[in-house]
Amino acid sequence: MTILFLITAVVILASAMMVVTARNLVHAALWLVVTLFGVAVLYAMLNAGFLAVVQVVVYIGAIAILFIFAVMLTGRQAREKGPGLNRNWWAAALMGIVTFIGLAWMLQGWRGFSQFSNALPSGFESVNELGQALVSPEAYVLPFEVASILLVTALVGAVYIAFNRK
Amino acid sequence: MIPLSWYLILAAALFSIGLFGVLARRNAIAILLGVELMLNAVNINLVAFWRYLNPIQMTGQVFAIIVFAVAAAEVAVGLALVISVYRSRKTIVADELDMMKW
């Protein structure tokens, strides 16, 4: 378990670094697929099987492919002319490092920081529970419906914005 | 066994890398890739807290699913804007998109 976590963490962080530094955008999008797959492995290790499947289907299957489509539709921009990073990249790197140190410092002061997980109760199926929580009126049916309205609105808006009026 | 802290530190590192990408890249699509990394870091946190604090309550997983939906909406609208801008300006380098600058 520990070995698997460490391998996954190294893969996630290394491929994330490649996403933000690769010059060729198609390569960056493919490295993003590797990162997303590593995150799916983490979900599976955390007993969130449904989320691991959704991560692969929605993120890798739809969002990453959408990125690759957008890179190809914007044609010759894929291999960037000039530097891939802007002039203030050192300030951005400093900002990232400060954010990481700040988050780590804040988390390390929390008393539940290094706790271990309890075993799940016997017969507990996280997929069943999640399905019931999403449609039960006492739980999360309203956020679920709001999310579907948001998706429809966003997709109609995306079609309208990208539509070629000619 | 893995303590909760490992997941939180990993998510913080992933978030910082995504933040660096958003701030430092010149290409608009690359900026959106950085936003995706940040959203994934948040999702790792949500699922880890669900598993370690109170797995009987499904709040963390439901929240993660809402984040999935918002991320999909954000990417669809963002890439549509990028394609629309590319049609009118023939560039998607963020520095050169200055038509709203006075």
Query: Residue A33's pLDDT band (boundaries 50, 70, 90)?
Result: very high
Tell me if A70 and B82 make a contact (CB, 8 A cut-off).
yes
**Closest CB from A46, A93, A161 relative to B77:** A161
Provide the residue ranges of all domains of chain B, joining segments of one domain with +: 4-90
Question: What whole-number percentage of chain A has pLDDT above 90?
Answer: 45
Provide the residue ranges of all domains of chain A, joining segments of one domain with +: 1-79, 130-166
Q: Domain B4-90 carries which CATH code?
A: 1.10.287.3510
Tell me if B75 and A67 make a contact (CB, 8 A cut-off).
yes
Q: Please report the pLDDT score of residue B55 as a whole number.
A: 84
pLDDT digits (tens, 9 = 90+) for B49-68: 998 888 888 888 999 999 99
pLDDT digits (tens, 9 = 90+) for A123-154: 778 888 888 888 888 888 998 999 999 999 99
Tell me if B2 and A2 make a contact (CB, 8 A cut-off).
yes
The pTM of the full predicted model, rounded to 2 decimals, is 0.90
- B31: chain A residues, CB-CB within 8 Å: none
ipTM rounded to 2 decimals: 0.90
Chain A contact present for B88, CB below 8 A:
no
Q: Which long-range contacts (CB under 8 A, 24 or more apart) does A57-61 make?
A: A58/B68, A58/B72, A59/B36, A59/B40, A59/B68, A59/B71, A60/A33, A60/A36
CATH class of A1-79: mainly alpha
Look at A130-139, B64-73, B74-83 and tell me which has the smallest mean pLDDT. A130-139
pLDDT at A166 over 70: no
pLDDT digits (tens, 9 = 90+) for A34-83: 999 999 999 999 888 899 999 999 889 888 898 998 888 887 655 556 66
Chain B: residue nearest A10 by CA?
Answer: B10
Chain A contact present for B31, CB below 8 A:
no
Q: Please report the pLDDT score of residue A12 as a whole number.
A: 94
Q: Mean of the per-residue pLDDT values for chain A? A: 87
